[in-house]
Amino acid sequence: METSEALDVIGNLVSALKAYTAKLPAVMPLSVMPGGFKPAPETVMVYEQAVYRFRSQAGSSAFRRLNDLLIESLEAFESGWVLKSAQPLLLSLDLIELMQREKAITMTAAEAGRLREYRSALHRLLPGNQPELEGAGKGL
């Protein structure tokens, strides 16, 4: 498996997660939907197929280390937990960067740009991505 193929799968998962969160209401009291707002079965199937396609292609490559993280993300996605699905994807991006630094994989500049783009998209899904005070979090 090549780095670009691994990033393609992660990109598909990120876009599925973004599409799901775009349909979520801004605020939803638990009394209205105690079980949460779960994605449609068709959406879950697409996410699941991407994860299992990755698992079958990763085989004995360096990317097999990502299998558990992607399964964890899938399980959280099936339950409708945005935060729990985004965190393993962020960890998988960290692991890809680590593999690149350890020279286990090679990454082109375009692939590094895609990795940054996916990380940014996932961070935008997380709460607290827009500080209340302008300039907050930018240091002194």
Write down the residue that tokens 């992660």 correspond to. 10
Q: Which amino acid is at 133?
A: L
128 vs 81, which has greater pLDDT? 81
* Contact in structure between 36 and 25 (CB atoms under 8 Å): no
Does the structure show a pLDDT above 50 at 78? Answer: yes
Query: Could you give the CA distance from residue 84 to residue 34 in angstroms, rounded to a whole number?
Result: 18
Mean pLDDT (whole number) for 122-138 = 63
Whether the model pTM is above 0.85: no
pLDDT digits (tens, 9 = 90+) for 22-72: 877 665 554 444 455 788 889 899 999 999 999 888 877 888 889 999 999
In this prediction, residue 91 carries a pLDDT of 94
